Structure 1
Amino acid sequence: MTLLVVEGLTKRFGGVAAAKDVSFTLQAGEMLAIIGPNGAGKSTTFNMVGGQLRPDSGTIALDGASIAGLPARAIWKAGVGRTFQVAQTFVSMTVAENVQMALLSHHGRSRGLFRDARALYRDEALALLAGVGMRADAERPVSELAYGDVKRVELAVALASRPKLLLMDEPTAGMAPRERSSLMALTAGVARARSIGVLYTEHDMEAVFAHADRVLVLVRGEIIAAGTPEEIRANPRVKQVYLGEAGTEAAMRARRKAVA
């Protein structure tokens, strides 16, 4: 089922086209990666879909409903969750409390909280934490967690709103290689089990080629290639402008090391 349809998306800053006529679709349960060199327009495209930027032209439809130009909160309410390059959590709260806060907001209970708020939606929070492998750490303060585990908590928080679409901004940034692979495998499994479309930007080519179903390559605001990881890895133009010589494993390891 087609979940997201983006057509002709364009955004200019002064005389510079940060995104120009960007078009793509995303299926429910699909992992779609956006890659490209610095300044390619990845963040601009991503933020137009998420509501942080208003497009100059073009359309964005989620489940058939237009969300182009809506504020970020309205897009969240329409069914779009998000994780960030730097994890956004309440470090002084426990793991379970972080997820409960997200559930309180989702259920419209974030205003006028009362003293027994810690008891609200606890079972639902624990179920979400079990789904990301963090149930055993429910009572630990987030400040005590390794960064890879914080990212898992952030994923549970994003899932609390029951999104149709999950936006992930460089989800593996700052993580060790083993943590990166584990997080992306977890995300792919959750996406397919819940039929959530995942759109993510990423510099780690291993996280892209190992887990994306399809890949978009942006350069200077335009899509220069789209296809499966195998097709993108073999694309001569992508090799030339982004992957390096022949898109070799050595080139990818060097790129991963540079952004680690």
Structure 2
Amino acid sequence: MTLLQVEQLSKSFGGVQAVQGVSLALQAGEMLALIGPNGAGKSTTFNMVGGQLVPDRGRVLLRGQDIAGLAPRAIWRRGVGRTFQIAQTFASFSVVENVQLALLSHDRHTFRWWPRAAAHRRGDALALLEQVGMVAQADRPCSELAYGDVKRVELALALAHDPQLLLMDEPTAGMAPGERVALMQLTRDLARARQMGVLFTEHSMEVVFGLADRVAVLVRGQLLAEGTPQAIRDDARVQQAYLGTGLVLEAQQ
């Protein structure tokens, strides 16, 4: 069964149709990049999948169950994780404590977390940090980390919920080019190992064309093209839509 099936999603704001009849599909273990020029409807589509926006029409099926219109927390409880454009951690807490707090939330102990965090599933938290290459810095405060390392910690926080689907909103924003590729290569490896689907928006075409399994292109709220990175790179309609933006040139370097 398809992990994520988006069917004819539409959303208007006043008289502006931000998204018009967008349909997408994502398989377990697959990385799907959602790209488009500014104002194309990427964020609106992304936020309808994650529950931040309620669609006017259409369905969002997670393993066959419609989650469209549910609150973000209800969607999270159904196995949908998320990272954000600006990484969000508790800066004064240690790296491992941040992951322990995420595990407390997953285990539904959020109202008793303060006295229990330091003791809660430390071994599991360290194992997650091992997966993202951060176990050596487990006891450092997050405030002392380089930004690229904070993004790795944020990924561990998302994985603490053991998601079926991971939504990543501009995951490499603010990162150096080498860090971008390393983070998303790690994400792809984890997606394969966990059979976790990843839907992400991204401006770095090096990341999109180098690491996504498939790419979906939105223009003026509609799905213009969807396919493998090579097929999208060679698509004349995509080249025309991005004319002057640098997408095609960067993709071919």
The interval holding the TM-score normalised by the smaller chain is over 0.9
Contact 1:205 1:252 in 2 (8 A): no
Give the alignment's TM-score, normalised by structure 2.
Answer: 0.97
2:42 is aligned to 42
**How big is the shift at 1:2?**
1.2
Per-residue CA distance 1:77-105 (angstroms, 9 max, x = gap): 01000000000111111000111110000
How far apart, in 1, do the equivalents of 2:247 and 2:61 lie? 34
Q: CA deviation at 1:245?
A: 8.4
Match of 2:178 in 1: 178
Can you list the C-alpha shifts for 1:109-159, whole angstroms capped at 9, x where unaligned? 111235243111111100000000000000000011111000000000000
Q: Is the 8 A contact 1:234 1:247 kept in 2?
A: no
Question: What is the distance in 2 between the residues matched to 1:120 and 1:153?
Answer: 17
**Which residue identity lines up with residue 241 of structure 1 in the other structure?**
A
SS at match of 1:52: coil
Look up the match of 2:100. Answer: 100
Indicate the residue corresponding to 1:142 in structure 2. Answer: 142
Paired with 2:145 and 2:114, the residues of 1 have a C-alpha distance of 28
Equivalence for 1:57: 57
- Which residue of 2 is the match for residue 230 of structure 1? 230
Q: CA deviation at 1:248?
A: 4.4
Question: For residue 19 of structure 1, what is the aligned residue in structure 2?
Answer: 19
**CA–CA distance in 2 between the matches of 1:51 and 1:245?**
30
What SS does the corresponding residue of 1:111 show, helix, strand or coil?
helix
Q: How many residues align?
A: 253
1:28 correspondence with 2:28: yes
Q: Deviations over 1:172-230 (max 9, x none)?
A: 10000000000000000000100000000001100100110000000010000000000
Letter in 2 for 1:174: G
Counterpart residue type for residue 33 of structure 1? A
In the other structure, the counterpart of 2:120 is: 120
Other structure's SS at 2:110 match: coil
Once structures 1 and 2 are overlaid, which stretch shifts more, 153-162 or 115-124? 115-124
Residues 105/245 of structure 1: CA separation in 2 closer, same or farther (3 Å cut): closer
SS in 1 for 2:113: coil
Give the match for residue 258 of structure 1.
none
Opposite residue 227 of structure 2, the aligned amino acid is G
User: Residues 144 and 15 from structure 1, CA distance in 2 versus in 1: closer, same or farther, beyond 3 angstroms?
Assistant: same
Q: CA–CA distance in 2 between the matches of 1:161 and 1:246? A: 37
Which runs of at least 4 in structure 1 moved beyond 6 Å after TM superposition?
A: none
Decide whether aligned partners of structure 1 residues 84 and 243 sit closer, same or farther in structure 2, where only a CA change above 3 A counts. farther
CA root-mean-square deviation: 1.5
* Contact 1:243–1:251 (Cα < 8 Å) also in 2: no
User: CA separation of 1:140/1:230 partners in 2, compared to 1, >3 Å: closer, same or farther?
Assistant: same
Note the residue ranges of structure 2 that are not aligned, 5 or more in a row: none
Q: Structure 1 pair 15/141, CA: closer, same or farther in 2 (3 Å)? A: same
The residue correspondences of 1:75-114 to structure 2 (distance < 5 A) are 75-113=75-113
User: Percent identity between the aligned chains?
Assistant: 65
SS in 2 for 1:113: helix
Which secondary structure does the structure 1 equivalent of 2:25 belong to?
Answer: strand
DSSP 3-state at the match of 2:3: strand
Q: TM-score, normalised by structure 1?
A: 0.94
Aligned partner of 1:256 in structure 2 is none
In structure 2, distance between residues paired with 1:245 and 1:152: 29
Q: Is the Cα–Cα contact under 8 Å of residues 242 and 248 in structure 2 kept in the other structure? A: no
2:185, 2:211 within 8 Å by CA — same for their partners in 1? yes
Q: 1:219 and 2:223 equivalent?
A: no
- The one-letter code of the counterpart of 2:182 is S
Report how far residue 250 of structure 1 moved.
4.8
Distance 1:72 1:166 in 2: 13
The letter for the 2-side match of 1:177 is P
Are 1:5 and 2:5 an aligned pair? yes
CA positional deviation for 1:240: 1.1
